[in-house]
Structure 1
C-alpha cells in the first residue's frame, strides 16, 4: 500500500488496486476505513498528506464494489471552526454511490460518539462515461418540474416495485402523459443523497423533496436504487422520445446544518475550509441559505467538486442541464455576489458543460441575495417577478396591465442589463416551493399546520385568492370559477416569451390542501393523485402547449419591442392609449404577434386576448382580413371581431 498521485478526490480503480484521495488542509491525520459486506470495519489505513493537502493512499488488490469511509483526526474546537472527531465516519465528498440512505440520529452530532453503524458507506465504482449527445433542450422550451417520489407513488400503471424511483419516469404511461402536454424537458428535483432535517423525525415527518444534501454526486438509494446505470437508462428512454432531462442540484448548503447538526462529511473533513464563517468568528457559520450553513463555493476544492459533479452527470448519464438551488451562493465570495466570479466562470468555461442548459434560482437570504437578471449569459433564471405579476393581474390588483405586458414580452427591464439583447427568463406561476396552481385560486392564506410549526413556516404573501370559499368546496359555481381561473393562468404562462416551467400536476388541478411549504410531507399531501386529475384541464394544457410549439413567436428569445413584432391593443382594436395603460383596474389587453405558423409554414398574425373582468368582452381585431378562433371545440368560422368570455384568454389567428 502506497500513496499515489491522482486527482484531488475520490476512489479511482486501477488494474492492481484502488487509489483514494481526499483534500483537507486542517486535519492532523486522515484514515481510510474499509468495510465488509456485514458492515463491520475491516481495517483503518493512514493516508499520506501531500504538499497540496490531498491525503492519498493506494490499496493493492482492492476491487470494484469495496465499501469505505474516512476518519479525520485533529483539533476539536468548534468555537475556532475545528470539528475533528475520529469517532465520526465520514462520507467521501467524491462518493459516486452509497450503500444506503442517510437517516438522522442524535449520535451524528455528538462528540466522541461512534457513528460507523449509522453512516452510509461509499462504494468503489468504475466511471462509465462517453461523449454525450448534444443537449436536447433549447431556451424557449417547456420545462416540467418533477419530484420523483410524489409524482410516481400513486400512478396506477407503474409496477409497485418501481413507484417512487427514477425508473418509473420511463414508464410508457408517464411518457405518454409528458408527450400529450408537450413537455420539452423534465427537471428532476434533487435525486442526490440527502438527510432529514433534525426536527422532522420527532414529528413523524420526512423530507420528501431532497433539498438537504450530504453527497453531491452519489444518487439517493431511495430514488435511484439502480445507481447511475438506472439514471442513464431512464435518460436514454426519455431522450428517445425527444424529452430532455435537467437535474436540480443543491451546492449552497449541506444537511450537516448549524453547529448543533450532524458530522457526516465536509464538516468532519475540514469545516473551516469548506463552509463560510462570519469574519473574525470562525465558530459561527454564515447562514445565507436559511438552513444553518453555507458552502464556501469560492474555495478551490469546492469549485472543482462542483465542476466534477456536473461533468459526472453529463458524461455518466447524458444529463442535458442543471438547475441550481439558491444560486447566488455559487457566485458569492467575501466581497459579495460576483456574476463573473471564478466558480460561475469555471462552470461556463468547461468543455463538457459548454452546451448544457444552466438555470439559476437567482436569490437567497444573504446580503445582496436577490440577483434576478444579474447572472452571466447564457444562464437562464427563474423569474418570480413574472409569477407575482401574473398572479396579481388575475387576482384583480390595480396597475397590473403594464407588468403583464412586460412579462409577455420577455422582461427586458430585467434582462437587458449588461447589454443583454434577449430574455433569459424561466417563467413560472407555481413551483415546488409554494402553493400549487390550483391552490393559488382556492386559498387566500397558507395552511401548513401539518408541518408541525403552528403554521409559522412558509411565505405569508402569496398573491392568491379563493373565489369565495377557503379551500375545498362542493359549490358548482365556485368550482367553475376556479377552473376558469386555472385555464386563464395556464394560457397566460404558455403565451409568455422565454422558457416556461410548470410543476407536475399543475396541468391537472393538483392540490396540497393549502400547504405552501410541503417539503416534509412525503405522503398524500404531495403525492400526485392520478385518479383525481382533471382531464379537462389536461386537455386545455395540451392545446395551449401545442399553440406554443406551432407559433414561433412564443419560444423566440429576443425581447418583444413593438418594432413590427407585436401590437398592444384595447377592445377597440386600436393601440393601447397611455390612459388605458395607466387605468388602475383596466381589465383587458390584446397582444397581436407577428409570427410564423408551423402548420402552414407561412408568416401570419396571432392575437392573444386577455379578459380578467367578470363579464364577456368583445375585441375589434386589427386589419381588414378575417380572423378565426383557435380552440379545441371551435369551428373554422372567420370574423372581424373576437368574443372573449369572462376570466379567460382567447387565441385568434388572422386568416
Structure 2
C-alpha cells in the first residue's frame, strides 16, 4: 500500500500477459493489464485502492504451457481472503471445462495491511518443552463450557476455560494442526466427506476461514495472544510440500496457472512443453508433476521464487501472528535439490541464517514419499525430528513383543543411535507414542486392527502396522479385567514417554481416553469421530491427574533429561534452585540393573525375552549426593530386589504406573523431616500419597516406577 494506492506484483516467467482483476462489492470485475519488468516479475500500481479491495489474476500462457485465462487465480502472496476455498468442477481447466469462467466460485484475495503481533517469542529451555498436539476445531467443538458460537473456532481455543485446562495439565507448547487456507479434495466431496485435518493448502499466508467467525486474521492473532499470555509456546504445523491443486489435469486455482516452475517436474523433460510432457492424456493426471507428497504434486522449494515464497510465509507467521515454531509436514521435501537430498539445501540454509527464524522451534517430520525419502536423524543440528523409531519400539515393548531391552534403553536415553551425541542435543528427538495420523492412545490399547470403513476406501487407508493390542475384545467392553489391563497399558506408555530423554509429544485427548472408534486415519471425519469427547473427562480424572503429575515430576525433579554424561557435547541442565550447571562439579554415574538388582550382562542385553530393566543413577553435585532408580517391568512377574552398590540407602517411590485409581496431581509441598520412628515405617506420605519407603525396590508386573533416595528435598517447579 502507498498513500495514493496499491502496488501489485506477481511472478511468472512463462506468461505472455497477466491481468490484475479488481472486484467491487457486487462481484463486477475490472481488468488492469500488468507490465513485465524483469526476472519473471509483473507489476502495476493502481491509484485509489484502499484496504479491503478484492482482487485476483488472470494469466495468459503460450501454446503448450499449462494455463487458462478463463480461470481466476489467487495471489500466492494474499494476506487475506474473502472466504473459505471450496472445490468446484469449474476449477478444472481442460476439455469440457476449458471455456468456463471460474471467478464466481473462487474467493478473492483482499488488500490488507497486517500489523505485527508484538508479543515476542515464549522463552522456554529445550529440556522443559512438552508438546501438546491439537486440532483447532476438534479441541473445542464439543466443549460444554465454551460458548456455542466459539466452539471449533480460534476464539474457542483462546477461551479462559481452555487456558486453565492446559495450564492444569502442565504442557508447555501447543502444536496446532494446519491453519493455512486449504481446500477439500474433489474425491472427498463426491463421497460426502471433507479434508478435516487441513493438509491440503491453497495459500501459505492466510489463516483458514473455517475456524473464524468474522475475521480469521484478527481472531488468530487474538488466540495466539491468549496462549502467549498464559506462557504457552505456539507451534504451527505447516505444509510446504504440495498445494491443493492436485495433479496436472485437476483444479487450477493459483500456482498451476501462474507458472509451472512452482512444481517439481518429471526428470529429463526440460526439452518438452508442459502439454507434451503430460501427453494430453486425461487418464494420466500425474504425467508431468513429481508426486512426493501423495497429493498429486510437489513444490520445487529449491527454485529461487518458491524458496522466497516459503521464507516470506514463515516470516509472516512469525511477525504477524507471533508463531514460536513450526512443525514441517513431510520435511524431507525441503531437503531435495534436483535428484539429491541434502541438509544444505538453499531453503534450510536460508532458515538457519534468517534472524526471524533461526531461533524458532523447528520440527521436521523427517520423510516424504520420494526416493530416499526417509531422513530421520539427518536434519541440521538445531532441528527437532519426529522419532518414529521411538514410537514403534515403545509400542512393541508394551505390547509384549519379543524385542528385549537393549532398544528400550536406547530410546529412554534419547535415541543416541540416531542423534549423534557429539553434535545433537537429546532434545532433538521428538518422542511420541501417538500422533494425529494413527490410533489415539485409547484405541491403541483397544483395537488390534484399523476400522476405517467410514473413510470411503473399503478400510484400506491408514497404517496397518500399528503395534496395538485389544486385550481380548475388539473395541468397547465393560469387562473389568480387560479395562484394568488397558488402563495399565495406557499408563505404561504415558510414563515411559514422559520419563524418557528427549522432547515428549502428547496427542490431545489421550490424557482422558479419547477414542476415534478404531479409525486410525480420520483425516476426512469432521464429526464426533474426530472431535474430543469432553464428556469422558469426569470419569477419567485419575488418568488426567496421572499425566499432570508425570509432567510436574519431569519439570521439577531430577529426570533423565537432566543427566550430564561425560561423552556428550550438549549439557543442557537448568536447576530449579537457580544453580548454574557450568559452575558445578557434576558426576552422574549410571548402572543398568537386571531383576536381581545386579548389573546387566551382555547375554541379557541380547536376550529378546529379557523383560525387566532398571536404571540406577547416582549423582554427586556440588558436594551433595543423591540416587534415583527407574524400573521398567514388562514381565508377568513382580520383581523385588536390593539395588547393586546401594547399601544403607532407603528408597521412596515417586510415582508408578501400577498405582491405578490414585488421584495424582497435587503440587509438591515441603514435608517436615521424619523422626526415626516414622522412618522405620514401611509406608509413609510419599510424593503421590502412597509411596513406599524401604531398603528394597518392589515393582509390580507390567509397570514402570520411579524411586529416589529418601530425604531429598522437594524442589519447586522449574517453570
Calculate the TM-score normalised by the size of structure 2: 0.85
Tell whether 2:377 aligns with 1:373.
Answer: yes
- CA distance in structure 2 between the aligned counterparts of 1:603 and 1:48, rounded to whole angstroms: 75
- CA distance in structure 2 between the aligned counterparts of 1:138 and 1:70, rounded to whole angstroms: 46
**Counterpart position of 2:515:** 511
Q: Is the 8 A contact 2:422 2:567 kept in 1?
A: no
After TM superposition, the structure 1 stretch with the greater mean CA deviation from structure 2, 410-419 or 351-360, is 410-419
- List per-residue Cα deviations over 1:612-634 (Å, max 9, x = no partner): 12332224234131110113443
Tell me the secondary structure at the aligned position of residue 210 of structure 2: coil
Q: Offset at 1:591?
A: 2.0
- CA distance in structure 1 between the aligned counterparts of 2:33 and 2:624, rounded to whole angstroms: 71
Q: Is the 8 A contact 1:426 1:500 kept in 2?
A: yes
**Counterpart position of 1:428:** 432
Tell me the secondary structure at the aligned position of residue 157 of structure 2: helix
Q: Is the 8 A contact 1:409 1:559 kept in 2?
A: no
**Counterpart position of 1:71:** 58
- CA distance in structure 1 between the aligned counterparts of 2:218 and 2:626, rounded to whole angstroms: 47
**Counterpart position of 2:544:** 538
Q: Is the 8 A contact 1:89 1:119 kept in 2?
A: yes
- List per-residue Cα deviations over 1:9-64 (Å, max 9, x = no partner): xxxx11111111111111111111111223x1330111111112111111111001
Residue of 146, 150, 158 corresponding to 2:138: 150
**Counterpart position of 1:237:** 226
Q: Is the 8 A contact 1:498 1:557 kept in 2?
A: no
Unaligned runs of 5+ in 1: 1-12
**Counterpart position of 2:595:** 571
Tell me the secondary structure at the aligned position of residue 32 of structure 1: strand
Q: Offset at 1:130?
A: 6.0
- List per-residue Cα deviations over 1:236-277 (Å, max 9, x = no partner): 211121111000000001111112321111101112x00001
Aligned residues: 635
Q: Offset at 1:222?
A: 0.9
**Counterpart position of 2:89:** 106
Tell me the secondary structure at the aligned position of residue 211 of structure 2: coil
Q: Offset at 1:75?
A: 2.7
Tell whether 2:111 aligns with 1:128.
Answer: no
For the pair shown, the structure with the greater C-alpha radius of gyration is 2
The structure-2 alpha-carbon separation of the partners of 1:381 and 1:601, relative to structure 1 and needing over 3 Å to count, comes to farther
**Counterpart position of 2:352:** 348
Residue of 12, 32, 41 corresponding to 1:54: 41
Tell me the secondary structure at the aligned position of residue 217 of structure 1: strand
- CA distance in structure 2 between the aligned counterparts of 1:605 and 1:170, rounded to whole angstroms: 42
**Counterpart position of 2:638:** 616
Residue of 607, 610, 621 corresponding to 1:583: 607
After TM superposition, the structure 1 stretch with the greater mean CA deviation from structure 2, 463-472 or 553-562, is 553-562
**Counterpart position of 2:6:** 18
Q: Offset at 1:479?
A: 1.0
Tell me the secondary structure at the aligned position of residue 203 of structure 2: coil
Q: Offset at 1:555?
A: 3.6
**Counterpart position of 2:199:** 211
Q: Is the 8 A contact 1:380 1:425 kept in 2?
A: yes
- Structure-to-structure mapping, 1:1-400, within 5 angstroms: 13-38=1-26, 40-75=27-62, 77=64, 82-110=65-93, 111-129=98-116, 133-140=120-127, 141-225=129-213, 226-271=215-260, 273-281=261-269, 282-283=277-278, 284-400=288-404
- CA distance in structure 2 between the aligned counterparts of 1:466 and 1:489, rounded to whole angstroms: 15
**Counterpart position of 1:7:** none
Q: Is the 8 A contact 1:137 1:320 kept in 2?
A: no
- CA distance in structure 1 between the aligned counterparts of 2:117 and 2:527, rounded to whole angstroms: 38
- List per-residue Cα deviations over 1:570-619 (Å, max 9, x = no partner): 1222221112212211111112335799xx99763321211112332224
- CA distance in structure 2 between the aligned counterparts of 1:69 and 1:494, rounded to whole angstroms: 49
Q: Offset at 1:419?
A: 4.4
Q: Offset at 1:491?
A: 0.1
Tell whether 2:650 aligns with 1:626.
Answer: yes
Tell me the secondary structure at the aligned position of residue 8 of structure 2: strand
- CA distance in structure 1 between the aligned counterparts of 2:116 and 2:168, rounded to whole angstroms: 32
Q: Is the 8 A contact 1:551 1:596 kept in 2?
A: no
Q: Is the 8 A contact 1:67 1:122 kept in 2?
A: yes
- CA distance in structure 1 between the aligned counterparts of 2:625 and 2:146, rounded to whole angstroms: 44
